[in-house]
Amino acid sequence: MLVGIIIVIALALAVVLVVLGRRSSSPAAGGAEPRAGIGSDVFEKLHLAPVDFTVEADTAIVSFDVPLPPGDVDPVLADVLIRQAVEVVREKRARGLPLDDITTVRVLGRRDGIPVEAAVLSLEEPGSLPPPPDGKLPEVKEAEEVEFDPLHRLADHVGKGQAPAVSVSRGDELPPLQDEVRLTASLEDAVRAKGVSPESMRASDLTLALLEAAGYQVTAGSASGTYMATRAGTRTFIGVVDHEPGGYPELAESAVNSFLASFYSAGADRGLLFSDKFCPHLVYEKERRDPRVKFITRERMQAFVDTIAVL
């Protein structure tokens, strides 16, 4: 996916530090250089399904159901969508559509439900699409790096101390998750590429988008709100509890016990429950009794985001 893993890791860490303090506001343009970081890694694995494909004169127009942020489109997101659009054109041509004369690929996303141009690619010669990514791991990648499991690091981090106690009452209303969780630009792009708008995301949206962005194979579990995330030979049982407006702002004991029962039945190596609700004190005793189990509630959600951001 990347050439020179040592250089890329250095660049990725440097960019994460810069982006956390200052978001890029560069306008998107065809052929713009993408920022270093998780974005370019993640998007080579994506396979976005187009919601529409048309040809007007010598222009192929590919539409994706990807929410675009207000203002200029982030150059990383624009680059991602262009590459995905090129693969759509390549597939259509392989199926026999006469696309050898196109000179331009135009890609659309959505803003407020309306198709909006995200980027445009001008081909060097009619029909000459850029080559597809080879999908091969760099030869210099060490086995220990391939086997790295970010959720193990997260579980170890949150297990070193308790989240701060928060006093809540039934009348309390939680602020939107996006007001309390800070995403790097590349992670925001990864979330949008999964069809999730950071401006209105729920805990389940953020959790599943970032797990897939981090390279986990995520499959639905037997019960609603449960999943199995697999990476590096480790199976992590995932539970997600979204806060509903007007609902009690603290994770209920019944939800904790239901998650634990499902985890033990699944036979996974580790169990993580994600929620944008606050953490009740009882979960610390649950974690102490079984270190394989962690509860990533609102107080710990930023730690989860930061774990994925520095991949």
The CATH number of whichever domain residue 188 belongs to comes to 3.40.1350
Query: What residues contact 271, with CB distance under 8 A and at least 6 apart?
Result: 236, 237, 238, 239, 259, 260, 263, 292, 293, 294
* Dist CA 311 CA 306 (whole Å): 9
Q: What is the DSSP string of 24-84?
A: --PPP-TTPPPPSSHHHHHHTT--PPPSEEEEETTEEEEEEEEEPPSSSPPHHHHHHHHHH
Model pLDDT, residue 159: 62
Same domain as 98, residue 233: no
Instruction: Name the band, by pLDDT with cuts 50, 70 and 90, for residue 310.
Output: low
Distance of alpha carbon 284 from alpha carbon 66, whole angstroms: 38
The residues near 299 (Cβ < 8 Å, ≥ 6 apart) are 163, 164, 166, 278, 279
Residue 277: both structure tokens together: 């609700």
Report how far residue 249's alpha carbon sits from residue 297's, in angstroms, rounded to the nearest whole number: 11
Higher pLDDT, 9 or 66: 66
Same domain (yes/no): 158, 279: yes
Q: For residue 136, what pLDDT is reported?
A: 38
Q: Which is more confident, 83 or 149?
A: 83
Do 175 and 268 fall within a single domain?
yes
Nearest Cα to Cα of residue 16 among 46, 33, 39, 32: 39
Name the more confident of 250 and 33: 250
Round to whole Å and give the CA distance between 272 and 92. 41
Candidates 213, 218, 177; CA nearest to 194 is 213
User: How many domains, in total, are found in the chain?
Assistant: 2
Does the residue 138 lie in any domain?
Answer: no
Q: One-letter amino acid identity for 33? A: E
* Residue 25: pLDDT over 70: no
Residue 87 covered by a domain: yes
Greatest alpha-carbon span in the chain: 66
Q: What is the pLDDT, as a whole number, of residue 165?
A: 52
For all residues of the chain together, what is the average pLDDT?
78
- 182 falls within a domain: yes
* Same-domain check for residues 65 and 24: yes
Residue 57 has pLDDT above 80, yes or no: yes
pTM recorded for the entire structure: 0.57
pLDDT in tens, 189-247: 888 888 889 988 999 999 999 998 888 999 999 899 999 999 888 999 999 999 998 88
Query: Do 113 and 159 reside in the same domain of the chain?
Result: no
Q: What is the pLDDT of residue 292?
A: 93
- Which percentage of the chain shows pLDDT scores above 90? 39
Q: Beta partners for 226?
A: 239
Confidence of residue 311 (pLDDT cuts 50, 70, 90): low
Q: Which H or E run contains 249?
A: none
Higher per-residue confidence, 43 vs 190: 190
Shared domain for 152 and 108, answered yes or no, is: no
Q: Cα(61)–Cα(109) distance, rounded to whole angstroms?
A: 11
Report the pLDDT averaged over residues 48-71.
89
Identify whether residues 301 and 152 lie together within a single domain: yes
Q: Which domain holds residue 23?
A: 5-122
Query: Do residues 183 and 294 share a domain?
Result: yes
Which of these three, 122, 137, 169, is where a domain ends? Answer: 122
For residue 110, the SS3 value is strand
DSSP-derived secondary structure letter, 160:
T
Q: Is 131 domain-assigned?
A: no
Please give the pLDDT value at position 97.
Answer: 82
* Domain end position, chosen among 107, 122, 137: 122
More confidently predicted of 165 and 285: 285
Which of these ranges, 38-52, 99-113, 134-148, has the smallest mean pLDDT?
A: 134-148
The more confidently predicted of residues 29 and 199 is 199
Q: Give 109-126 pLDDT, tens digit per residue.
A: 999 889 999 999 999 999
Residue 164 shares a structural domain with residue 290 = yes
Tens digit of pLDDT for each residue in 60-111?
999 998 888 888 888 878 888 998 899 899 988 888 888 888 999 999 999 9
CB 259 within 8 A of CB 289: no
Are 93 and 85 a contacting pair, CB within 8 Å?
A: no
Residue 168 shares a structural domain with residue 215: yes
The tens digit of pLDDT for each residue in 285-298 reads 999 999 999 999 99
pLDDT of residue 162: 53
Which of the residue ranges 2-16, 147-161, 162-176, 196-210 has the most confident prediction, judged by mean pLDDT? Answer: 196-210
pLDDT of residue 186: 80
Last residue of a domain, one of 71, 105, 122: 122
153 and 259 part of one domain: yes
Per the domain annotation, does 133 fall within a domain?
Answer: no
| Same domain (yes/no): 157, 271 | yes
